Amino acid sequence: NRKCCESNVEPLFEGYIETLRREAECVEADSGRLAAELNHAQETMEGYKKRYEEEVSLRATAENEFVALKKDVDCAYLRKSDLEANVEALTQEIDFLRRLYEEEIRILHAHISDTSVIVKMDNSRDLNMDCIVAEIKA
């Protein structure tokens, strides 16, 4: 009686075991494929990570250069403003001095035109020719 029951169940178990073996083989094949995909994904991720770190470094360098350039531009702008203020002050001084000198020249011309000149001339006609000849001979 016992053999009768065993013979009916055994083929069922063997079929089930065979199905499980095929599934295990598929899982094993998938495991290799998934391991390769994982490896590829990790390599890709490492590449992206390296590129990201390079970009972060480049960005930091660019930001530092920007800060330095901004500082230089700010200094140049302040210097330009100082120079423009200096130019304005010098221009005003030049205009003032020009008006001052023009006024002084106008006053001098007015003073000169009002001045009369008296010239004293010696019209002595007495020439001592003997002294002149003696000086030439000597």
Residue 51's pLDDT is what? 97
Specify the amino acid at residue 6. E
Q: What is the mean pLDDT of each run of 10 residues along the chain (138 residues)?
A: 61 90 92 93 97 97 97 97 98 98 93 70 67 83
Distance between CA atoms of residues 25 and 19, nearest Å: 10
pTM: 0.47
Maximum alpha-carbon separation in the chain:
190
pLDDT tens-digit map of 103-118: 999 999 988 876 666 7
Q: What are phi and psi of 132, to 5 degrees?
A: -65, -45
Place of tokens 């360098």: 61
Output the CA–CA distances (angstroms, integers) from residue 134 to 9, 99, 126, 130, 138, in the order listed: 174, 61, 17, 6, 6
Domains in the chain: boundaries: 2-117
**CB atoms < 10 A from the CB of 76, how many?**
10
3-state SS class at 125: coil
How far from each other are the two terminal CA atoms of the chain, in whole angstroms? Answer: 183
